A and B are shown apart, each in its own frame.
Chain A
Amino acid sequence: MGRSAHWPDIWLVVLGSIILLAWWLLVRNSGDLMMSAFCSSDTLWALPLSVRLDEALMLVSAAQLASDSALMVCAMMPPLIIAPLRHVRDRSFARQRARATILFAIGYGVVWMIAAVVLQLIALAARWAAPTPLLCFGLAVVTAILWQVSPTKQWCLNRCHRRPYLAAFGAAADRDAFDFGLTNGAACAGSCWALMLLTLLMGQGQILGMIAVTLFVIAERLESPARLKWRWRGPSRALRIAVAQARMRLTAALAAEHVVTPVDDSVFGRTPCRIIT
């Protein structure tokens, strides 16, 4: 696919606009988010369990569940679909790229909408059942950490990296783009659900939590697929990239400013060596 050296592709501009709009709406309406309102209520926790349930059910409306879910998905998930969308577009006929992009996004979005609604209901139930908000949040933290180190999380992450072959013509092409969206969305939801649940139980800190989780999952996706095992997995590659790129640019800027002669360390025999320990 051709890409201008200076201008981003239109589909990336559209994706970026969706992200910005969703975050703007989230920030503007943060007090109205269902879970945020429910979890921030100081008086709610003083009520008896049965009354708390009634209050919770009063807060639940299908429309708000759906709109909150849509906002969350549109704000947090688009950066994660840039790489698979690029695959879809590269492997489709030029005139069908927009169509394939939309079909992939629908498949991916359907899975995440269902997942987001379910996660909100789980968060509501957890809030209802837990004796204190702190205990509820603590359990969510433990769950997120356990999931983060589990081989099953790696299984999901690995499948987020899959780039299947796609039919090029007719209904099969549409079906493959949609199916890829579904499977990529399922792997993505499987990878991210515990962190998403955590943000839903943060009360007034929900927006900040969502921003942190978004950055974390974007960074985490830069890691290569790996073997399944129990281990900590985090955004170490992203940190390495940030440090290395900053250092590289700083060095280039300093070199340009001082017009220094490049260090002649390329001559074999004079390259940096260190003692093997």
Chain B
Amino acid sequence: MAYTRKNVWELGGDWADPILWYARGVKAIKARPLNEPTGWRFYAAIHGIDQDLWRQLGYLSSGDPMPSSGDTETYWNQCQHGSWYFLPWHRGYLIAFEAVVRDAVVKLGGPSDWALPYWNYFKPNQDALPPAFASANWPDGDGDNPLYVPQRYGPNNDGNVYVPVSAISLNALADPDFSGLASGGSPGFGGVNTGFNHSGQVHGGIETQPHDWVHGLVGGGDPQSNLPGLMSDPDTAGLDPIFWLHHANIDRLWEVWRNNPTSHVDPTDANWVNGPLVVGGGTFVLPMPGGVSWTYAPGQMSDLSQLNYTYDDVSPPAATPEVVARLERLGVPLETANALARSTAMAGPKTVELLGANNESLRLIGAEAGTSVALDAAVQRKVSTNLETAGAAGRPAPDRIFLNLENVRGLNDATAFSVYINLPEGEDPTQHPELLAGSIALFGVRKATLADGEHAGDGLTFVFEITHIIDAMHLAGTLNVSQLRVRLVPIKPVPEAAQISIGRISIFRQSS
């Protein structure tokens, strides 16, 4: 039987059957003890667990029976972030979780074809938290709705939970490459090939947006205690029932990317296909109903038809591929643009080089921060020449330009901000979407800042494609400048206690 995951906002009601059965299943799973591998908290800990944080949030107490050390070593803290394994690991995680919930649903007398809904916050009027998750009550008025968690604070930390769509983006879907580069160029749609060194410092395209953004802004933080909302931190995110609907949407977007166009393909590199085990990492292994565990590898996660489920909607968000649209903007005839786009998709190794950087680290406190990125004149000339000759016979595809926020460190994962290029002084940023480089939430930054954690305290690096801004400057004849102004605009003022800093802001050109 093929299971179909459907849009939670289009099920036919706030408490339509699939969501009601999800709630009943979650309630049954939540009743299981911590040491039960198919229990709610055990499953959340598979994504990540910080026992101190769980205690502070009330999800762990001294009376909880701890799993065996074998179980914790095998299953817990598996989540893959800042890596090209991000999508396949989470796909398996969703499949296994869905099987666990379905098993509980069937035991309660529910439908045997139950499937996890997804939350597509991109659709008009679907950016708000689905109502079944927002109320502490069941539809009949009784309390104790298992889909509700109090530690969900929203973008303004006031309990009003929604996804601010003005800053959310699907730009990653236009990236022709699944795997990216850690050297300043495109991080790819699916993330960076982390090789033998799994530091995970650079988040991939779809991971940065919308994944991180939705995590940070749905979760938010408690303004009184400064504790994060569950969704804001990788070590607590799996405790929130909305986590699974958010990830189902990310999983759906992977399928959208693969289908639109079909030249978008997953890596065939054996180190991706076989998973981190072959580069010295762990095995992807998850507990399943019936007391068995399931071991899987990324190469098994590509084809949905092989995985026995589908989505009700994998249509592309836009008709024209971004590469073609860009070439047309640069004056390349449509026919040439299509041919060039095809050759770009099949292009070999990329060359990445630094174009400019600011000169000192930046603290983000309060309502905004800014800096100037000085450009190297020689590299800038290369970019200008490349853009001027775009589409000419024998010339390579036009350069792509990327803004890097390097070594982003801090203590608050719910910090979220937008980055603008050359925003005029005193202007309202929301009036200049054409100058928006991108928006990020710092999902995972707390752990990445720990000096003796997996990132050695280096923090995270975020990469935005700013090709559209550079193209516009080129077409307007204003690209010949010595520096670009970069302005960081947080979604809400950043307290000093968050200690958010950006080590360096740099710009790279990537050529085929």
A165 near B504 (CB under 8 angstroms)? yes
Task: Considering the complex, give the chain B residue whose CB is closest to the CB of A277.
Answer: B70
**Cα separation A268 to B406 with both chains bound (whole Å):** 39
Task: Collect the chain A residues with CB atoms within 8 Å of residue B386's CB.
Answer: none
Task: Collect the chain A residues with CB atoms within 8 Å of residue B37's CB.
Answer: 276
Task: Collect the chain A residues with CB atoms within 8 Å of residue B503's CB.
Answer: 164-165
**Cα separation A165 to B458 with both chains bound (whole Å):** 9
Task: Collect the chain B residues with CB atoms within 8 Å of residue A237's CB.
Answer: 280
A1 near B353 (CB under 8 angstroms)? yes
B48 at interface by CB-CB < 8 Å: no
Task: Considering the complex, give the chain B residue whose CB is closest to the CB of A247.
Answer: B278
B361 at interface by CB-CB < 8 Å: yes
Name the interface residues of B298-351: CB closer than 8 Å to any CB of A: 299-300, 303, 306-309, 348-351
A83 at interface by CB-CB < 8 Å: yes
A163 at interface by CB-CB < 8 Å: yes
A168 near B453 (CB under 8 angstroms)? no
Task: Considering the complex, give the chain B residue whose CB is closest to the CB of A154.
Answer: B452
Known: A162-B456, A271-B296, A273-B288. A244 touches B277 (CB 8 A): yes
Task: Considering the complex, give the chain B residue whose CB is closest to the CB of A90.
Answer: B183
B287 at interface by CB-CB < 8 Å: yes
Task: Considering the complex, give the chain A residue whose CB is closest to the CB of B285.
Answer: A274
B295 near A274 (CB under 8 angstroms)? yes
A193 at interface by CB-CB < 8 Å: no
A273 near B294 (CB under 8 angstroms)? yes
Partner of B300, one of A159, A163, A271: A271
CB distance from B277 to the nearest CB of A (A): 6
CB distance from B509 to the nearest CB of A (A): 10
Known: A93-B376, A276-B293. A248 touches B270 (CB 8 A): yes
Task: Collect the chain B residues with CB atoms within 8 Å of residue A172's CB.
Answer: 359
Task: Collect the chain B residues with CB atoms within 8 Å of residue A4's CB.
Answer: 349
A238 at interface by CB-CB < 8 Å: yes
Task: Collect the chain B residues with CB atoms within 8 Å of residue A1's CB.
Answer: 183, 351-353
Q: Mark A179-197, 1 if CB is under 8 A from B, else 0.
A: 0000000000000000000
Name the interface residues of A1-31: CB closer than 8 Å to any CB of B: 1-5
Mostly, the B contact residues are mixed
Partner of B292, one of A159, A162, A252, A276: A276
CB distance from B201 to the nearest CB of A (A): 7
B361 near A165 (CB under 8 angstroms)? yes
A256 at interface by CB-CB < 8 Å: no
B308 near A269 (CB under 8 angstroms)? yes
A94 near B354 (CB under 8 angstroms)? yes
**Cα separation A11 to B105 with both chains bound (whole Å):** 60
Task: Collect the chain A residues with CB atoms within 8 Å of residue B456's CB.
Answer: 158-159, 161-163, 225
**Cα separation A248 to B299 with both chains bound (whole Å):** 13
Task: Collect the chain A residues with CB atoms within 8 Å of residue B406's CB.
Answer: 91, 165
**Cα separation A240 to B196 with both chains bound (whole Å):** 11
B306 near A268 (CB under 8 angstroms)? yes
Task: Collect the chain A residues with CB atoms within 8 Å of residue B70's CB.
Answer: 277
A272 at interface by CB-CB < 8 Å: yes
CB distance from A248 to the nearest CB of B (A): 5
Task: Considering the complex, give the chain A residue whose CB is closest to the CB of B99.
Answer: A268
**Cα separation A167 to B358 with both chains bound (whole Å):** 8
CB distance from B500 to the nearest CB of A (A): 15
CB distance from B75 to the nearest CB of A (A): 9
Task: Considering the complex, give the chain B residue whose CB is closest to the CB of A95.
Answer: B378
Task: Collect the chain A residues with CB atoms within 8 Å of residue B201's CB.
Answer: 163
A228 at interface by CB-CB < 8 Å: yes
**Cα separation A95 to B355 with both chains bound (whole Å):** 11
Task: Collect the chain B residues with CB atoms within 8 Å of residue A58's CB.
Answer: none
B270 near A252 (CB under 8 angstroms)? yes
A275 near B292 (CB under 8 angstroms)? yes
Name the interface residues of B417-465: CB closer than 8 Å to any CB of A: 451-458
Task: Collect the chain B residues with CB atoms within 8 Å of residue A211's CB.
Answer: none
Mostly, the A contact residues are loop
Task: Collect the chain B residues with CB atoms within 8 Å of residue A266's CB.
Answer: 299-300, 303, 306
CB distance from B357 to the nearest CB of A (A): 4
B291 at interface by CB-CB < 8 Å: yes
Task: Considering the complex, give the chain A residue whose CB is closest to the CB of B291.
Answer: A276
CB distance from B477 to the nearest CB of A (A): 25
A83 near B197 (CB under 8 angstroms)? yes
CB distance from A245 to the nearest CB of B (A): 6
B146 at interface by CB-CB < 8 Å: no
**Cα separation A274 to B291 with both chains bound (whole Å):** 8
Q: Mark A198-239, 1 if CB is under 8 A from B, else 0.
A: 000000000000000000000000101111100000000110
B198 at interface by CB-CB < 8 Å: yes
CB distance from A234 to the nearest CB of B (A): 13
**Cα separation A266 to B275 with both chains bound (whole Å):** 14
Known: A83-B197, A266-B303, A271-B294. A2 touches B351 (CB 8 A): yes
A166 at interface by CB-CB < 8 Å: yes
**Cα separation A277 to B73 with both chains bound (whole Å):** 13
B53 at interface by CB-CB < 8 Å: no
**Most A-side CB within 10 Å, residue of B198, B352, B456, B503:** B456
Task: Collect the chain A residues with CB atoms within 8 Å of residue B156's CB.
Answer: none
A120 at interface by CB-CB < 8 Å: no
**Cα separation A241 to B198 with both chains bound (whole Å):** 13
**Cα separation A93 to B379 with both chains bound (whole Å):** 9
CB distance from A91 to the nearest CB of B (A): 7
CB distance from B431 to the nearest CB of A (A): 32
Partner of A268, one of B198, B277, B308, B457: B308
CB distance from A98 to the nearest CB of B (A): 14
B472 at interface by CB-CB < 8 Å: no
Task: Considering the complex, give the chain A residue whose CB is closest to the CB of B201.
Answer: A163
Task: Considering the complex, give the chain B residue whose CB is closest to the CB of A1.
Answer: B183
Task: Collect the chain B residues with CB atoms within 8 Å of residue A159's CB.
Answer: 456
**Cα separation A207 to B196 with both chains bound (whole Å):** 28
9 residue pairs A–B, Cβ–Cβ below 8 Å: A90-B183, A158-B451, A158-B457, A165-B503, A168-B374, A252-B270, A267-B307, A276-B71, A276-B293
Known: A91-B184, A172-B359. 12 other contacts (CB 8 A): A2-B350, A2-B351, A4-B349, A92-B354, A155-B452, A167-B359, A169-B374, A225-B454, A244-B279, A268-B95, A268-B309, A273-B288
Residues of B within 8 A of A (CB): 37, 70-71, 95, 182-184, 196-199, 201, 270, 274, 277-280, 287-288, 291-296, 299-300, 303, 306-309, 348-354, 356-357, 359, 361, 374, 376, 378-379, 406-407, 451-458, 503-504, 506
Residues of A within 8 A of B (CB): 1-5, 83, 90-95, 154-155, 158-159, 161-169, 172, 222, 224-228, 237-238, 240-241, 244-245, 248, 252, 265-269, 271-277
- Please list the 10 inter-chain residue pairs (A to B) with the smallest Cβ-Cβ separation, ordered nearest first: A165-B503, A2-B351, A168-B357, A165-B504, A237-B280, A90-B183, A241-B280, A161-B456, A266-B300, A244-B278
